[in-house]
Amino acid sequence: METLHLDLPAIQDASLNPRAALYGVVSSGNLEVLVERGHDATRCVFEVQTAAHGFVEVWKAVLTDFAARHPVGGLSFAIHDAGATPAVVSLRLDQAFQSLRGA
């Protein structure tokens, strides 16, 4: 297991009222992401536990782009990864975020 902690600046969307929620599943090539309210409205926090070693730079790039793409300030994302490709990671994160907005 490799772990990664990332704390990024982000814009907050005050109209979001996030309930904690879990998306996805820890199965081969997939991941689960737990979205919760964070402590700082101007930051977005990521905690990643991954089974695939040596991809820290890829994770950073994927998460940084995600945090730039959406108003995720004040949210925290905890991820358990079982070898998802960046495409799947981005898709899950987008789905999780869009569901918060829809809920």
Partner 1 sequence: MRGLAQSYREALARLRVQALLDPGSFSEWVGPTQRVTSPHLAALEAPVSFDDGVIVGQGLLHAHPVIMIAQEGQFNGGAVGEVHGAKIRGALLRAVRDKPGAVLLCIDSGGVRLHEANAGLIAISEIMRALFAVQEAGIPVIALIGGACGAFGGMGIVARLCDVIIISEEGRIGLSGPEVIETVKGVEEFDSRDRALVWRITGGKIRRTLGEATLLVDDDIAAFRAAAGEMVGARSLFLKKRGLNPTTSSLQTLQAAQQQLGARAELDAEIRDGQVLWSRMGLGDQVSLMSPEQFNRRLEALES
Partner 2 sequence: MDALQPIRTWNHEALRRQARLERSMPFSRGKAVATRDMVSLLEALLEPGDRVCLEGNNQKQADFLAESLAACSPQRVHDLHLVQSVLALPAHIELFEKGIARRLDFSFAGPQAHRLARLVQSRSIEIGAIHTYLELFGRYFIDLTPQVCMVAAQAADAGGNLYLGANTEDTPVIVEATAFKSGIVIAQVNEQLERLPRVDIPASWVDFFVVAPTPNHIEPLFTRDPRHITEIQVLMAMMAIKGIYAEYGVERLNHGIGFDTAAIELLLPTYGESLGLKGKIARYWALNPHPTLIPAIEAGFVERVHSFGSEVGMEAYVAARPDVFFTGADGSLRSNRAFCQTAGLYACDLFIGSTLQIDLEGNSSTATLGRITGFGGAPNMGSDARGRRHASAAWLKAGQEKNGGQTSVRGQKLVVQTVETWREPGHPAFVERLDAWQLKQDMGMALPPIMIYGDDVSHIVTEEGIANLLLCRSPEEREQAIRGVAGYTPVGMARDRALVENLRDRGIIRRPVDMGIDVRDATRDLLAARSIKDLVRASGGLYQPPKQFRNW
Contacting residues toward partner 1, per CB under 8 A: 1, 20, 22, 24-27, 30, 32, 34, 36, 49, 51, 78, 80-82
Between residues 37 and 69, which has the closer beta carbon with respect to partner 2? Answer: 69
Confirm if 99 and 23 have CB atoms less than 8 A apart.
yes
Say whether residue 58 binds partner 2 (CB under 8 A).
yes
3-state secondary structure of 67: helix
Q: Among 76, 46, 73, which residue's Cα sits nearest to residue 61?
A: 46
Q: What tokens were used for 54?
A: 């040596």
Q: Where along the sequence are the contacts to partner 2 (CB under 8 A)?
A: 29, 52, 54-55, 57-58, 61-62, 83, 85-88, 90-91, 94-95, 98
